[in-house]
């Protein structure tokens, strides 16, 4: 069965520091992977997606993610975090029309 694991429930980083959020997936075939961000009380905004091709994908707001099949991972990175990046981040995999979300990582940014 398909599943997504986000090992870190909560991460705190200083503004300007680099960021890496971890995501591991379990999927039998080539996965279609996403990172979404959610600010408090808001909907989910798509940051980036991986379908095939180049394993390093660029997204909005300066985020990137790298697909590593050998590690079943799709980690999200940003070289320099801004205070406005504080939010909840969800990794997801889709099969057909069904999305499987990870449990989320809450990001706190300290000045």
Which residues of this chain interact with other proteins, rule CB under 8 A? Answer: 32, 34, 36, 41-46, 49, 51, 88, 90, 94-99, 101-104, 106
Query: For residues 19 and 107, what is the distance between their CA atoms, to the nearest angstrom?
Result: 10
The CB-of-32 to other proteins minimum distance in angstroms stands at 4
The CB-of-17 to other proteins minimum distance in angstroms stands at 24
Q: Which is nearer to other proteins, 43 or 111 (CB)?
A: 43
**For residues 4 and 104, is the Cβ–Cβ distance under 8 A?**
no
The CB-of-51 to other proteins minimum distance in angstroms stands at 7
The CB-of-79 to other proteins minimum distance in angstroms stands at 24
Beta strand 105-110 with 87-95: parallel, antiparallel or unpaired?
A: antiparallel
Q: Which is nearer to other proteins, 45 or 84 (CB)?
A: 45
Q: Which is nearer to other proteins, 13 or 94 (CB)?
A: 94
**For residues 12 and 98, is the Cβ–Cβ distance under 8 A?**
no
> Closest Cα partner for 7 from 89, 107, 105?
105
Give 14's strand partners. Answer: 110
């Amino acid at each position: 069965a398909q599943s997504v694991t986000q090992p870190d429930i909560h991460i705190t980083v200083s503004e300007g520091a680099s960021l890496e959020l971890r995501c591991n997936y379990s999927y039998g075939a080539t996965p279609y992977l996403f990172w979404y961000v959610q600010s408090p009380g808001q909907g989910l905004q798509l940051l980036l997606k991986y379908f095939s091709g180049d394993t390093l994908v660029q997204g909005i707001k300066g985020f990137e993610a790298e697909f590593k099949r050998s590690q079943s991972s799709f980690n999200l990175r940003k070289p320099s975090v801004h205070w406005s990046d504080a939010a909840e981040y969800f990794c997801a995999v889709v099969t057909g029309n069904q999305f499987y979300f990870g449990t989320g990582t809450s990001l706190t940014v300290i000045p």
